Amino acid sequence: MIKVVSVTKTYTTGTDKITPIKNFNLRVNEGETVILQGSSGSGKTTLLNMIAGLIKPTEGSVEVAGRNVSKLPEHFAAEFRRETAGMIFQQFHLIEELTAGENIALPLAPSSLSRQEISDRVNMLTEKLLIKNIIDVPAGKLSGGEMQRTAIARALVNSPSIILADEPTANLDGTLTEELLNIFRSLKSEGKTIIIATHDPVISGSDIADKIIHLNKEV
Amino acid sequence: MNFKLLDFALHSLVRRKGRYPFIYITFTLLIAVSLSIFTITGALKQEAQYSLNNLPDIIVQKISGGRQQYIKKQLAEDIIMLPGVISAVPRIWGFYPFEYLNTNLTIVGVDIYDPYVTETLAKITKDISPLKFNRNIFLGEKLHEIIRQIYNKDEFSFQMPDGTYKTLEIAGTFQTSSQMISTDTVITDMLSAAEILGIPAGFSTDIAVNSANSQEISTIAEKILNISPSLKVVTKDFIKASYQNMFDYKGGIFLLFFITSLFTFFMIIFDRLNGPSGGELKEIAILKALGWGTSDILKVKLYEASVIGLFSYLTAICLSLIYVYVLHAPGLKDVFMGYSYLKPSFSLPFVFDIRVVVTVFLITVPVYGSAVIIPAWRAASTSAEVIR
Ligand SMILES: Nc1ncnc2c1ncn2[C@@H]1O[C@H](COP(=O)(O)OP(=O)(O)OP(=O)(O)O)[C@@H](O)[C@H]1O
Ligand SMILES: [Mg+2]
């Protein structure tokens, strides 16, 4: 379960202060799929990053699976991400010179898993996502759809219970968006908790959303 | 040790090929220079020590008008009578300008009838034919070669102070690697040397005094000074101290130079790594989002730095070995010795000193390591916002 309680986030750059999230509350139950909507600059990415423990709220608390991630020291926040969260980014953010397989394995490098165990997981995921054939192709040479699947495989390689996706369809055409929806559906059926930030109506209008949250741009 | 992270680090080195050669080359050169300097100063100190050990305990000179004058040989007989003195020998030596090489030859007159001298000469000379009175010289191999090239014969004509020439045959050469006599030395009998140098009969350049007991040196020195107010004594300890000063002085300049370049080098490194490139920052941010901790990222950076450091270090050791042992440290040796034209061919007994190697390692590699780690740490602990 994810509990966001009275969270405010203020960014300070020089003398400028921006507060995209103000006194915000959210509750996501296990296995739920939540869509975050809102115009650009409304704080969707900010919220996802706080749930992932990447940034800390200025006020309030974020609790994920019983852990107060807003208070976790850096080392434990990283461990939490490694064990619990899988992130999918808008730009995929693959490391271009590494192969698809190496990219997928990245989250497990700091773990204590053996190479064999890691490669088993990578094989299983690439098989499931139908990208086994590109495992040795440098990520920079992949097509958009392949990149996206690679990014998804990477987010899933640590068997996370929570998946955080930031505008996952922004760079995809209609067919690929449909495919992505199918992948989310199957993840949902596996009982994963999913939070998707998007302004793509295809996603927000689909059947996968249990809840749709609107973030308003503060002025 | 996490081998998966090490893997990643090695991979990164290969991926960012363009970034590292500069650091690698500068770092290698820096270490090579430090290693060479330390090795050479070490060798020179040893060499100096060796010559110092062969010095007489006291050298007696005559000074008048603030300048050194020739000293009466007879004075040696007075000195030997002093208690504690075991030998007092008048020495004939001096410099002879050899314009062709723009250098001074050191002319040394030896007592050819002294069996000890004959024995010593036999030890250091190559083609032994005894030094014949008023006929022969011994000189260094290199000097011999040069003279042969210029005059095309095995003899040398010295111009004496009265303008006439004295021609002496080369009776033998001594190895330039001999530690006892340096390469610009010419050995001949006492009379020939005195003639070439213009030392009047009955006089010598100075008197070498040895004592039975090193504790008595200062007492003996005082007594010698009491013989005549125009005498000056130079003790072995005094020479040792001034040698030490010279090395410390030159060594100090080099240390300063060395520290400066070290500093500059690390400034450059800091500059380059302070703002890791945009791509690298982004990569750090991605890795953090994927669950890498700051410590994991730092480990990778540390592995990268260690690999570069180690490779640089090994290359540098090879380079400095070649520079010092194969090429005989051209350039650097002259700075330390103030050598004349002839001397660079003189080979120093360079010793491979593991302490030097370790010291240089401890000075350079950790500093380089922190120059890499600190900026990376800064980037890793503040990069969360990079991914939007
Ligand atoms: N690290 C930061 N420092 C300063 N301001 C920031 C930082 N990150 C985000 N902001 C600002 O906070 C606001 C919200 O940003 P955020 O990225 O969360 O919005 P978003 O809803 O994800 O927008 P988009 O739809 O464009 O991705 C924006 O005005 C942004 O400029
Ligand atoms: Mg965003």
- Tell me if B381 and A74 make a contact (CB, 8 A cut-off): yes
Confidence of residue A37 (pLDDT cuts 50, 70, 90): very high
Beta bridge partners of A196: A35, A165
What distance in angstroms lies between residue B295's CA and the mean position of ligand 1's atoms?
A: 27
Position A44 pLDDT exceeds 90: yes
- CB of B186 closer than 8 Å to CB of B197: no
Q: Can you give the pLDDT at residue B173?
A: 81
Q: Can you give the pLDDT at residue B178?
A: 45
Least confident of A183-187, B93-97, B111-115, B364-368: B364-368
**Complex ipTM tops 0.85:** yes
What lines the ligand 1 site, CB under 6 Å? A 11, 13, 18, 20, 38, 40-46; B 385, 388
Q: Can you give the pLDDT at residue B20?
A: 73
Looking at the complex, report in whole angstroms how far the Cα of residue A78 sits from the nearest Cα belonging to chain B.
5
Position B335 pLDDT exceeds 70: no
Pick left, alpha or beta for residue A139 (phi over 0 → left; psi -120 to 50 → alpha; otherwise beta): alpha
CA angle A48, A52, A58 (to 5 degrees): 75
| φ, ψ at A152 (rounded to 5°) | -70, -45
Position B368 pLDDT exceeds 70: yes
10 Å CB burial of residue B209 (0-12, 13-18, 19+) is buried
Quick one: closest CA in A to B16, which residue? A97
- CB of B289 closer than 8 Å to CB of B348: no
* Residues of chain B with C-beta less than 8 angstroms from the C-beta of A107: 290-292
- Ligand number nearest CA of A10 is 1
Confidence of residue B268 (pLDDT cuts 50, 70, 90): low
Upper half-sphere CA count for residue B144 (Cβ side, 13 Å) = 18
Position A217 pLDDT exceeds 80: no
* Residues of chain A with C-beta less than 8 angstroms from the C-beta of B15: 97-98
> Which pLDDT tens digit goes with each residue over B237-264?
887 777 777 666 666 666 767 766 776 6
> Which pLDDT tens digit goes with each residue over A50-92?
999 989 999 999 999 888 999 998 889 999 999 999 999 888 8
> Which pLDDT tens digit goes with each residue over A114-123?
999 999 999 9
Among A206-210, B47-51, B146-150, top mean pLDDT goes to A206-210
Residue B132 CA: distances (Å) to CA of B123, B167, B203, B215, B252: 17, 13, 22, 40, 47
Q: What is the mean pLDDT of residues A19-36?
A: 94
**Closest Cβ–Cβ partner in A81, A95, A102 for B283:** A95
Position B126 pLDDT exceeds 70: no
User: B20-53 vs B236-274: helix axis angle to the nearest 10?
Assistant: 180
Position B176 pLDDT exceeds 60: no
The per-residue DSSP string of A79-95 comes to HHHHHHEEEE-TT----
In chain B, what percentage of residues exceed pLDDT 70? 78
Residue matched to tokens 């530690």: B179
**Closest Cβ–Cβ partner in B283, B290, B293 for A87:** B290
